[in-house]
Amino acid sequence: MTHRIAIIAGDGIGTEVMPEGIRALEATAKRFNIDLEFTHFEFGSCDYYLEHGKMLPDDWFEQLKGFDALFYGAVGWPDKVPDHISLWGSLLQFRRRFDQYINLRPCKLMPGIKSPLAGREPGDIDFYVVRENTEGEYSSVGGKMFEGTDREVVIQDTVMTRTGVDRVLKYAFELAQTRPRKKLTSATKSNGISITMPYWDERVVEMAKGYPEIAVDKFHIDILTANFVLHPDWFDVVVGSNLFGDILSDLGPACTGTIGIAPSANINPEGNFPSLFEPVHGSAPDIAGKGIANPIGQIWSGAMMLEHLGYKEAGDAIVTAIEEVLSEGDATVLTRDVGGEGTTASLGKAIADHI
Amino acid sequence: MTHRIAIIAGDGIGTEVMPEGIRALEATAKRFNIDLEFTHFEFGSCDYYLEHGKMLPDDWFEQLKGFDALFYGAVGWPDKVPDHISLWGSLLQFRRRFDQYINLRPCKLMPGIKSPLAGREPGDIDFYVVRENTEGEYSSVGGKMFEGTDREVVIQDTVMTRTGVDRVLKYAFELAQTRPRKKLTSATKSNGISITMPYWDERVVEMAKGYPEIAVDKFHIDILTANFVLHPDWFDVVVGSNLFGDILSDLGPACTGTIGIAPSANINPEGNFPSLFEPVHGSAPDIAGKGIANPIGQIWSGAMMLEHLGYKEAGDAIVTAIEEVLSEGDATVLTRDVGGEGTTASLGKAIADHI
Ligand SMILES: CC(C)[C@H](C(=O)O)[C@@H](O)C(=O)O
Ligand SMILES: CC(C)[C@H](C(=O)O)[C@@H](O)C(=O)O
């Protein structure tokens, strides 16, 4: 069976780490005898926008919907196109139109990586952030009144639906069930955000009734971010709204020292549309073009993609290869952000060799 | 001149730390010859709610508006009253009706306090979070449709006004101007929250024109929380919306190891209504009644109050006393959260003695 993968490298370091992501996938496909077919797309980048006046062609949905997965680099280059235009014109469209309502991000302290938190060792931090990925604070509903005057008012809605909230909670509860600690933490702010967030809390209570074996707790997002720093060992599966999940899934990897290497999966669990796999890091215009970007986020996202396609063992093999290369700590191989003097290619190649 | 201070201790440890806050203020008033007059109020607590069915009496505004400042403990006890009711019925009313549109929170690594961040020493972390405190995400505007059915939709508005945004930015720019580094960081999320946050960014650009000597940068809230952990030394004055400021002003103190001792000021800069001073920590039902809560947040908030009333030297004297007691590190004096075996009273008394 051939798995058709759409490749969108995007902007900046997205275009640099993508070849290493593919290199690792090809090595894994060979070893595990998996048939992957890659198709490259130019759209979904700011350069495409500058040429065409839009981030995507009109028929992007038709072009992409038949693929088995989308493998994505990073999008955004604020000096060329404002972020809210480039992101809403690409990544956020994919998430929404392909109903990738789960954004899944592991936060794991890896061997050889120094946590910025004092005294934390590999094994101490190992949790998942499950983020709602289609609604909530990212609504684009709203507008301005009295524009350009002193009376100017700007309004944007947060929109939560029962469907949207329940399905992400269900996914999170089921993920918690597969984990040894069986613990779920809900991110809320029902003491301040007095309509949507109490609703979120209610749905958590309701959903929890179906999962009596899961230990559930909740924290307001302010103290929750504090607890990520103070007690990262408390967490197992953390579920949050689109915005809260976004924040926690950058902060979590930061606490493991791996903001530049964390992976993510935008999942449509029903599989009626393709899921999308991308590193957590952005396009990083400041280091783009230098060949020094760390490709691990892209490669690890490839591992999540293989697991999603049904090849758990193959995905694990990639993660193991990453761990091995990080443990070896060869400075000629590792990129600067993890203490080496190597390049995107040297690190990518070392991982592919280990696979 | 007599300064009339309204005391509202609130719930849980609020009632335990308040006497120590007052003790420190009385010691300072004596030393600096300041005339403070305290008036205690029972309302604004969950027990008051259980008795009266509301958090505040109908004439609270009349009762409080003539005071020179409000000295506040902590409110909330979820087992008695849901948080969104207790908070919206008290603290959030004060902030809004008294137009305390600035929430100011110092994040400072203090001597004797261990940062959870590896290798950070006093002096490394010293910044202010300036939070918009009256509008934004805390709107209470919105509602539900198709309630109780599978089609349920819940909507809440974020509301930003030019008045509201500009005045908090102005305060932040002016604060940055008083600081040696003259640096201002704006918290945004304009790549995802596509209406209100781009507006916030626009106003920052506009306001910056009037302050050419200030170095301005901005980060999206996700990577900003990561940078608080990775590079806390980057920050000098950080300005954010109501929600983002809330998150950053818990996370910042957590990074300095001082979540339990951080102070805050809810300021009405025009002085047409009283400002409110309260510790960052909440009512902490889990440790309430044990006499072990750390009173420093309350005492330090008192220092901010004195500074606001025009007694900068007196405020500084309190902060110095706190630093001295922390540096001495006497375990019989310090509370457990900072490594001692003392009580709320032993620590409060030691600080008052130093003053
Ligand atoms: C208790 C809560 C409503 C409040 C807030 O979010 O404003 C608190 O977290 C704070 O920061 O003062
Ligand atoms: C680029 C931005 C719109 C995006 C988001 O907020 O969803 C990113 O931060 C992410 O987490 O994937």
What are the sequence ranges of the domains in chain B? 1-101+268-355, 102-261
pLDDT band at B83 (very low <50, low <70, confident <90, very high): confident
pLDDT(B94) > 90: yes
pLDDT digits (tens, 9 = 90+) for A130-186: 999 999 999 999 999 999 999 999 999 999 999 999 999 999 999 999 999 999 999
C-beta of residue A226 within 8 angstroms of C-beta of residue A168: no
CB contact (8 A) between residue B155 and residue A195: yes
Residue B278 CA, closest ligand 1 atom number: 12
Determine which residue's CA is closest to atom 12 belonging to ligand 2.
A280
pLDDT band for position A125 (cuts 50, 70, 90): very high
Distances (CA, A) of A341 to A24, A299, A344, B112: 21, 19, 10, 37
Q: Are B200 and B165 in contact (CB under 8 A)?
A: yes
Of the candidates B226, B71, B157, B63, the residue with the CA atom closest to the CA atom of residue A129? B226
Q: Do B150 and A162 touch (CB under 8 A)?
A: yes
The CATH number given to B1-101+268-355 is: 3.40.718.10
Q: Whose CA is nearest to atom 6 of ligand 2?
A: B192
Residue A123 pLDDT greater than 90, yes or no: no
Best mutation target, A162, A197, A221, to test chain B (most B CBs within 10 A): A162
Q: What's residue A83's pLDDT?
A: 86
| Amino acid B292: pLDDT | 96
Supply φ then ψ for residue A215, to 5 degrees: -85, 120
pTM over 0.75: yes
Ligand nearest to the CA of B282: 1
pLDDT at B84 over 90: no
Residue A226 near ligand 1, beta carbon < 6 Å = no
What separation, in Å, do the N-terminal and C-terminal C-alpha atoms of chain A show?
22
Band the pLDDT of A259: cuts 50, 70, 90: confident
User: pLDDT at position A84, please?
Assistant: 83
Question: For B102-261, which CATH class?
Answer: alpha beta
Cα–Cα distance for residue pair B37/B47, rounded to 1 Å: 25
CA distance A263 to chain B (A): 15
The response to whether residue B246 sits with its C-beta less than 6 Å from ligand 1 reads yes
Instruction: For ligand 1, pick from B88, B246, B248 the residue to mutate: most ligand atoms within 8 Å of CB.
Output: B246
Question: Which of left, alpha, beta for A310 (phi over 0: left; psi -120 to 50: alpha)?
Answer: left
Percent of chain A at pLDDT > 70 equals 100
Rounded Cα–Cα distance for residues B57 and B44 (Å): 9
Tens of pLDDT, residue by residue over B162-174, are 999 999 999 999 9
A225: nearest CA partner in chain B: B251
CB atoms within 10 A of CB B235: 25
The answer on pLDDT for B258 being more than 90 is: no
* Interface touch B253/A142, C-beta < 8 Å: no
- Fold of the CATH domain A105-125+136-260: Isopropylmalate Dehydrogenase (3.40.718)
Chain A positions in Cβ-Cβ contact with residue B195 (cut-off 8 Å): 140, 142-144, 154-156
Whether the predicted pLDDT of B259 surpasses 90:
no
Topology match between the domains A1-101+268-355 and A105-125+136-260: yes
Q: Is B19 exposed, middle or buried (CB count within 10 Å of its CB: 0-12, 13-18, 19+)?
A: middle
